[in-house]
Chain A
Amino acid sequence: MKSPKFGLLVVLAVALLPTPSTSLAFDFKNIDLNKLRDVGEKLKPLKKTSENDEIELGKDVAANLLGAAPLVNDPALQDYVNKVGMWVALHTERPNLPWHFGVMDTDTVNAFATPGGYVFITRGMLLHLRDEAELAGVLAHEVSHVIARHALNTMRKDALAGLAGDALGEYAKDKGGAGYAKLVSASTEVYSRGLDKNDEFAADRMGVVIAARSGYDPYALASVLQTLASINPKDDSMALMFKTHPDPTKRLELLMAAMEGNVDQYADQPKVEDRFSQIMKAHVSYYSAHKK
């Protein structure tokens, strides 16, 4: 049981390090202050993850996600999603993250984002969308998770709870080591369990604003939620989405209430239907021609 020991050491570190000379209750002969300082260093990632560490962790988690479902082999489609996604990401507080967007080749209806800016939408989700504004809405929801560090904070909470406590201990000193690998795999599990439902509601509210800033009809994300609510929850393609997200009807109601009277002046912004339809038509024929 590593975590209780770690917890104790944190208490010790906090008690000792700032004012070592005032603490008479401890027997200094038996406590190695250098070791305690070491522990403090190791625990740094728990308290605050640097942007570089966030990006590196996110990239490795992305590698795991792509191990579960590969990218769609259609360069034109991948380029398209990157153009729309980058435009959306430019309208956030973190435009300079190394944003990457990808379409995963699975019929599962879902979208994901890893810390630092790797954003994925599944082909199954893409095929349900009506226009580019809906795509922008979905990407803006995912981008919101990244800028608010929802997944990163969940991973950190998990680590603190002991899931990867020992792994995080090694995180700072040995990024290529077994401890780090454990951290990446524990972090990937966040995507099979999902985020806190309030993070999802928050990403919906942020997403529509980011879409409005980007010039799209902000209600497109609401239309996507209406579509998701229409798919049979027992359908295989929806299993992961329903396991990891609140009920889409509930999301739709909360989102519509939050938008009411606040973004109506942007409601007539473009949906960009024609471009989306052309890209998707080209994709469907490319995909069937290149399918084994």
Chain B
Amino acid sequence: MKSACAIFVTACTLWGLSVQASEPGTTRYAVDLMAAPYRDAKLASNLSADTRVDVLERRGGWIKITAKGQAGWVRLHQVRLGVGPEKQGSSGLSALWNVGQTGRSGSQGIVATTGIRGLSAEELKTAKPNPKAVAAMDTHKVSEATARDYAHSAGLKENSVPYLSTSK
């Protein structure tokens, strides 16, 4: 419990301090490092598979990374976040890193140390209905006008966009 609290306090303190800070990652395979976030941009360099990188920025489907003293852009699925071999996923340590560096909580770190309430398949099967909680959701329901005002206040503008085809 103590260490969980410590993690939590750290999260509280550092949240938003440096959201733009870099995240560590690893190339999933050999990739071309582009000079700009465009398909036809100049090739800056290339990196071999399993190169340790830092993700500096996200722009649409592109991420700006640095590795071995070079910087450039790759598609975001070409890098897995975290350090180490595929399938292993992040360790408790990289969760802590998230808390400290990005302000993201790394809640998996908290789970690992406390066993704070989870939600398992078994719990879903045996759950007793809580209609009061559903009724309470009505108090937070917002009107279309409220949602529109709130979106516009953040500069969000509507578009007409067709659904993507499945053929690709």
Contacts and interface: CB of A to CB of B under 8 A. Distances in A.
B154 A110 contact: no
Interface in B116-168: 116-125, 127-131, 133-134, 136-144, 146-148, 150-151, 154-166, 168
A127 B108 CA distance: 10
B82 interface: yes
Contacts of B87: 233
Contacts of B46: none
Nearest to B24: A230
A106 B142 contact: no
A71 B162 contact: no
A222 interface: yes
Given A62-B134, A237-B107, A263-B161, 12 more contacts: A64-B128, A67-B129, A70-B133, A75-B140, A188-B124, A215-B158, A219-B61, A219-B76, A226-B77, A239-B118, A264-B61, A288-B8
Nearest to B98: A128
B125 A192 contact: yes
Interface size class of chain A, counting residues whose CB lies under 8 Å from the partner chain: 35 or more
Contacts of B159: 212-213, 215, 266
Interface of A: 59-60, 62-71, 75, 78-79, 81-84, 86-87, 90-91, 95, 98-102, 104-110, 118, 122-124, 127-130, 132, 184, 188-189, 191-193, 202, 205-206, 208-209, 212-217, 219, 222-223, 226-227, 229-240, 243-244, 249, 252-253, 256-260, 262-264, 266-273, 275, 277-278, 280-281, 284-285, 288
Considering residues B94, B143, B156, B157, which has the most beta carbons from chain A within 10 angstroms of its beta carbon? B156
Identify the 8 closest CB pairs spanning chains A and B, nearest first.
A267-B60, A232-B89, A215-B156, A230-B81, A192-B121, A67-B127, A86-B147, A68-B127
Contacts of B102: 130
B158 A91 contact: yes
A273 B19 contact: yes
B64 interface: no
A107 B111 contact: yes
B77 to A, nearest CB: 5
Contacts of A233: 87, 89
B107 A127 contact: yes
B133 A63 contact: yes
B75 interface: yes
Contacts of A129: 104
